Amino acid sequence: MKYVDEFRDAGIARALAAEIARAVQPARTYRLMEFCGGHTHAIARNGLADVLPAQVQLIHGPGCPVCVLPIGRMDQAITLALERGVIVCTYGDTLRVPASGKCSLQTAKAQGADVRMVYSPLDALHIARSNPAREVVFLAIGFETTTPTTAVTVLQAQSEGLGNFSVLCNHVLTPAAMHAIVSVPGGIAVDGFIGPAHVSTVIGSAPYAPIARDWHKPIVIAGFEALDVLRSVQWLVCQINEGRAEVENEFTRAVTEQGNRKAQELVARVFELRTDFEWRGLGSLPDSALQLRAAYAGFDAERRFGVAYQPVPDHKACECAAILRGQKQPQQCRIFGTACTPETPVGSCMVSSEGACAAHYNYGRFRTPA
């Protein structure tokens, strides 16, 4: 695949790893948090932790919109599916996420709910057009990468005058989450961030500057491929050595300082900030999530069906809050691998394969002694 395979070259990866090994100060530890689930995946599937020197510690952040989705939000979708007879359209990621009473959209389907997996929100529109007598709800999740696609879909529905389509909006914002991680009292045990790739394609590199400046943490926006991640680790090590805390863009082939203005404008037209929003593992964060504007209330499933959000607390033994902030490792959680596994996830970090605990369970478990 062009512009993908070249960035996976093993020889260049070895060369970059060697440069990083030369750059690290032997007695120093470099704790780097990759914010984005896609980076967690790239690191795990390539085994990048094995090619980096021991001084570099990779810490998995919260950057998976499925992981940070509170149980109560999944309950809303499941209620709509089971009790209101709507067709719920969802991405594959959320299909098996367990919510209250061990229910998921998948188990709801087994109980007779009409739940359909889609690749794109446009597929959900298609389902609405094909089923004019039924209500169709699209479960919209995702950070800023995905939000513009939902915006276009709502505008399309409006222009077609579709009367049976609505969106259950769970779009969340990256800078707010980053801020919550970095502003923890006592300081965060992270020296630098590998910044999100495709979120930055949309929002640009500019929004990260206040975080780097105010909290003195270097941020390098990195592409998704192995060489991108390695290069960003190299730049972070360099910044940390030199005491700098800047935003650097490694992913210049897709990210500019301003980002995708058109996408940003479309989002601003359709969505507005919620005053606050609960994040699983991070608590309630102000100005961290979006809802549909009043002008599009007809397409807002929460208003259309009157499904209110009921918060559901996480398990007492769950250590996700600390793990999301890099303060603890998955193995340090009492229930990791026992009560809490990918099949029976208790907290957000285990819910999707990019959560810190799931990634460790699926890819890294063999490193710890049996």
Q: Are the beta carbons of 104 and 88 closer than 8 angstroms?
A: no
Task: Rule CB under 8 A: say whether 202 interacts with other proteins.
Answer: yes
- Among 68, 67, 48, residue whose Cα is nearest residue 58: 48
**Least gap, CB of 186 to other proteins (angstroms):** 27
**Least gap, CB of 157 to other proteins (angstroms):** 13
- Among 311, 104, 273, residue whose Cα is nearest residue 176: 273
Choice from 24, 48, 168, 289 touching other proteins (CB under 8 A): 48
Residue number with CB closer to other proteins (268 or 275): 268
Task: Rule CB under 8 A: say whether 47 interacts with other proteins.
Answer: yes
Contact letters for other proteins, residues 294-333 (x by CB under 8 A): ----------------------------------------
The single residue listed with the structure tokens 């020197």 is: 53
Residue number with CB closer to other proteins (216 or 253): 253
Task: Rule CB under 8 A: say whether 145 interacts with other proteins.
Answer: yes
Contact letters for other proteins, residues 1-40 (x by CB under 8 A): xxxx-xxxxxxxxxxx-xx---------------xxxx--
Residues 337 to 356 in contact with other proteins, rule: CB under 8 A: 342-343, 352-354
How far apart are alpha carbons 164 and 296 in whole angstroms?
13
Choice from 20, 64, 285, 318 touching other proteins (CB under 8 A): 64
Residue number with CB closer to other proteins (19 or 272): 19
Task: Rule CB under 8 A: say whether 105 interacts with other proteins.
Answer: no
Residues 236 to 295 in contact with other proteins, rule: CB under 8 A: 252-254, 260, 262-263, 266
How far apart are alpha carbons 167 and 147 in whole angstroms?
12
Choice from 103, 115, 127, 346 touching other proteins (CB under 8 A): 127
Q: Which residues share a beta bridge with 89? A: 116, 138
Task: Rule CB under 8 A: say whether 120 interacts with other proteins.
Answer: yes
Distances (CA, A) of 146 to 10, 160, 162, 294: 31, 22, 22, 21
Helices marked H in the chain: 10-23, 37-46, 48-51, 71-83, 105-110, 121-130, 147-160, 174-182, 198-203, 209-215, 226-241, 261-270, 301-305, 320-324, 348-351, 356-359
**Least gap, CB of 354 to other proteins (angstroms):** 6
| Phi, psi (deg, nearest 5) at residue 163 | -100, 0
Q: How many residues bind other proteins (CB under 8 A)?
A: 89
- Among 65, 328, 60, 64, residue whose Cα is nearest residue 194: 60
Residue number with CB closer to other proteins (156 or 158): 156
How far apart are alpha carbons 310 and 71 in whole angstroms?
9
Q: Are the beta carbons of 350 and 357 closer than 8 angstroms?
A: yes
Residue number with CB closer to other proteins (216 or 367): 367
Task: Tell me the window of 89-97, 209-217, 270-278, 317-325 that interacts with other proteins (CB under 8 A).
Answer: 89-97
How far is C-alpha 358 from the geometric centre of its chain's CA atoms? 14
Choice from 76, 79, 146, 348 touching other proteins (CB under 8 A): 146
Q: Are the beta carbons of 246 and 217 closer than 8 angstroms?
A: no
Task: Rule CB under 8 A: say whether 109 interacts with other proteins.
Answer: no
Residue number with CB closer to other proteins (14 or 334): 14
Task: Rule CB under 8 A: say whether 122 interacts with other proteins.
Answer: yes
DSSP string, 178-196: HHHHHT-TT--S-SEEEE-
Q: Are the beta carbons of 190 and 32 closer than 8 angstroms?
A: yes
**Least gap, CB of 194 to other proteins (angstroms):** 11
